[in-house]
Chain A
Amino acid sequence: MSDKIIDTNKEYKYGFTTDIESFKAPKGLTEDTIKFISKEKKEPKWLLDWRLKAYKRLKSLKEPNWQKPKYPKIDYQDLYYYSAPKSVKDKPNSLDEVDPKLLETYKKLGIPLDEQKRLSGVAVDAVFDSVSVATTFKGELTKKGIIFCSISEAIQKHPDLVKKYLGSVIPLTDHYFATLNSAVFTDGSFVYIPPNVRCPMELSTYFRINASQTGQFERTLIIADKGSYVSYLEGCTAPMRDENQLHAANVELVALDDAEIKYSTVQNWYPGDEEGKGGIYNFVTKRGACRGKNSKISWTQVETGSAITWKYPSCILQGDNSVGEFYSIAITNNHQKADTGTKMIHLGKNTKSKIISKGISAGKADNTYRGLVDINKKATNSRNYTQCDSLLMGNKCGAHTVPYIKNKNSSSIIEHEATTSKINEEQLFYCNQRGLDQEEAISLIVNGFCKEVLQQLPMEFAVEAQKLVSISLEGSVG
């Protein structure tokens, strides 16, 4: 693995590196590394024990291999598990104390953090490699009793909440990457919305990988207490390198009675170059528990980056009348690969789920929708509606739909629709005839194809996402 920065890919405008001194744990996945991380973060003993338990378990687990996109063996001993800018070591309390270089980095990414220029109506937690460097709008949120901070800070300041919910949706022993994350997770966001509070602004986390040969192990935990509502969005970018970097996150959501969580992702990790060199391995476990009655969790994802995207944001519909939704756009171009979808596990009565997936494949890319709808015996009168549409550009790319459906009671209904089509030449002709060039025409048609998903995004990000959809497909039709 080398640290050469590639500058041939002009379309990826977030590919720069921040030249900043970082403080790292020694390379390698060992008990010492875990102790190092835990000590750096001044964690209580229970959490270190928890990590070590995960690590012990990990040793008996095998890396899964059933997914469609294969990748070369990852040498876990050749990675850094913790990397933090030196200036963040003694974490500043206020934004004025944040290293200007970091502020500059986020500004370049379009996420200004300073008081005057910050995005209005959006509170941001900025995670740089393994640490959170700043969180905006904290004061305003605190007034409503909302907690929005890094998970590291939450461990210090709200240990009871963390202890109660961490690992309650994704068990310590869940599967290889989730367990790995539990052992070595570094930072991510923590959100708690108190009962009957409607969060007045979008909460968002911006993940940035900067250091080379470093894995990012994000951990995010969001709890919506009874009758509350929150909309949360994450964004991700990384420098262009010809090495593959691992981002293995665990995201847990808990919605109690009558609560609603809307979780949106705009994933734009570096996808690798046109030959398929470099790019992020985005192996993420995201799961939400609709624990209370009438609760709702809605996942929206726009996945345009990464060399490999491998994730199934899921809903466990425990509460009666709870609702799970999954809206997804996965775009793969050049040599990118995606194997993504969702799991909807219906446990409560009258539970509903809806899956809308739009896969777009161009170049030599491969795109798989894989989804599970599992309606349990006791989940009477439940419903699922699934619609998977795939769009192919050119004839060197692939699209696959792999639905697993289990309906264990007779009062429930599952509907599944799937289509695969090539980009329609007549539509292109029509747009061209009205003066749009090939790229404009494709962008228009593809954005139309994705409309149902795009319109789920918070307004502040929808425009950005539309542009991203267009940019990701540049050069895809010759």
Chain B
Amino acid sequence: MLELKDLKASIGEKSIIKGLNLHIKSGEVHAIMGPNGSGKSTLANVLSGKNGYEISGSLKFEGQNLNEIPIDERAKKGIFLAFQYPIEIPGVNTSNFLKTSLNTIRKSKGEKNLDTIALLKLIKEKASELNINEKFLSRQLNVGFSGGEKKKNEILQMKLLEPKLAILDETDSGLDIDALRIVADGVNSYKSKKNSFLIITHYQRLLDYIKPDFVHVLSDGKIVKTGNSNLAQELEKTGYKNFN
């Protein structure tokens, strides 16, 4: 599904990703852990196609080179990013945003356009699975949402848009214990042989709920170690000192 070879990314003089290799197959769950500033969010941005990076190396999604493909086209191909810090968009109604996004993505998949009523029904259904109060849907997008509410809203969008590759950037940070379980259940119920996850996290806790097939340690822009879920437990005990 996703294949990165010797991927490098820099902004101006600062090089952030420094030669990264990663292969994610359909149905796999990969976790990335690593110290603050090691380049995890940058990797997520680069995969989504965010502008402003100098990129080299190869970046392939389902066999296709992504380098020249803009952000919205990548989203339409099935790449989804749950943001570490979801941005507030004042004046934009949350459910309108979800409707617009959902129909755009559905259209690109050749699925039929849903009318407002059908869309709203679907959104409410998924929202209730995540224990999201309907009132949020009529609020301005992310405006004044608590940290946890913003994260839940990201997972709601993931469930609606049904991406092939979901990148979750510290979705667990800021969630209370119950919310963490709900979000993890959300991810698990969506998990299938056809889609993959790249989960960025600092904590073993999330990985107790969502069992990763691989755990990678990202340090200073490179993957310095790859292992199975035991690696996460090990890191919890020892920290990153062995990798610096």
A413 within 8 A of B: no
Provide the residues of chain B in CB contact with A432, threshold 8 Å.
Answer: 49, 70-72, 75
A435 pairs with B104, CB closer than 8 A = yes
B75 pairs with A430, CB closer than 8 A = no
Per-position 1/0 for B74-104, Cβ under 8 A of A = 0110001101001101111000010011001
A424 pairs with B101, CB closer than 8 A = no
Provide the residues of chain A in CB contact with B101, threshold 8 Å.
Answer: 434-436
Per-position 1/0 for A423-452, Cβ under 8 A of B = 011110111111111101100110111111
Option from A435, A437, A445, A452 in Cβ contact (under 8 Å) with B92: A445
Provide the residues of chain B in CB contact with A437, threshold 8 Å.
Answer: 70, 72
| Bound complex: CA A432 to CA B48 (Å) | 9
In the complex, residue of chain B having the shortest beta-carbon distance to the beta carbon of A429: B50
What count of chain A residues pass the 8 Å CB interface test? Answer: 24
A435 pairs with B70, CB closer than 8 A = no
Known A447-B92, A448-B140; contact A436-B87, beta-carbon cutoff 8 A: no
| Bound complex: CA A431 to CA B76 (Å) | 12
Work out how many contacts link A and B, with CB atoms closer than 8 A: 72
A444 pairs with B100, CB closer than 8 A = yes
Interface of A is mostly: helix
Provide the residues of chain B in CB contact with A444, threshold 8 Å.
Answer: 89, 92, 97, 100
| Bound complex: CA A431 to CA B72 (Å) | 8
| Bound complex: CA A452 to CA B91 (Å) | 8
A427 pairs with B87, CB closer than 8 A = yes
B94 to chain A, nearest CB (A): 11
B92 pairs with A436, CB closer than 8 A = no
In the complex, residue of chain A having the shortest beta-carbon distance to the beta carbon of B79: A433
Known A429-B50, A444-B100; contact A436-B72, beta-carbon cutoff 8 A: yes
A349 to chain B, nearest CB (A): 35
Known A430-B83, A440-B100, A440-B104; contact A435-B75, beta-carbon cutoff 8 A: yes
B192 within 8 A of A: no
B86 pairs with A435, CB closer than 8 A = no
| Bound complex: CA A450 to CA B91 (Å) | 7
In the complex, residue of chain A having the shortest beta-carbon distance to the beta carbon of B104: A435
Known A430-B83, A440-B104; contact A435-B89, beta-carbon cutoff 8 A: no
| Bound complex: CA A424 to CA B141 (Å) | 15
B64 within 8 A of A: no
Option from A424, A433, A448 in Cβ contact (under 8 Å) with B75: A433
Per-position 1/0 for B11-51, Cβ under 8 A of A = 00000000000000000000000000000000000001111
A420 to chain B, nearest CB (A): 15
Provide the residues of chain B in CB contact with A434, threshold 8 Å.
Answer: 75, 97, 101, 104-105, 157, 161
The 29 listed contacts between A and B (C-beta, < 8 Å) are: A424-B87, A429-B48, A430-B86, A430-B87, A431-B89, A432-B49, A432-B75, A433-B72, A433-B81, A433-B83, A434-B97, A434-B105, A435-B76, A435-B101, A435-B108, A438-B72, A440-B104, A441-B72, A444-B89, A444-B92, A444-B97, A445-B92, A447-B91, A447-B92, A448-B91, A448-B140, A448-B141, A451-B90, A452-B91
Binding site for A on B (CB under 8 A): 48-51, 70-72, 75-76, 80-81, 83, 86-87, 89-92, 97, 100-101, 104-105, 108, 140-141, 157, 161
Binding site for B on A (CB under 8 A): 424-427, 429-438, 440-441, 444-445, 447-452
19 additional A-B pairs beyond A430-B86, A448-B140, A450-B91, beta carbons within 8 Å, are: A424-B87, A426-B87, A429-B50, A430-B89, A432-B49, A432-B75, A434-B161, A435-B72, A435-B75, A435-B108, A436-B100, A436-B104, A437-B72, A444-B97, A447-B91, A447-B92, A448-B91, A448-B92, A451-B91
User: Nearest 10 CB-CB pairs, A to B?
Assistant: A448-B91, A451-B91, A432-B71, A448-B92, A434-B101, A435-B104, A435-B75, A435-B105, A432-B72, A426-B87
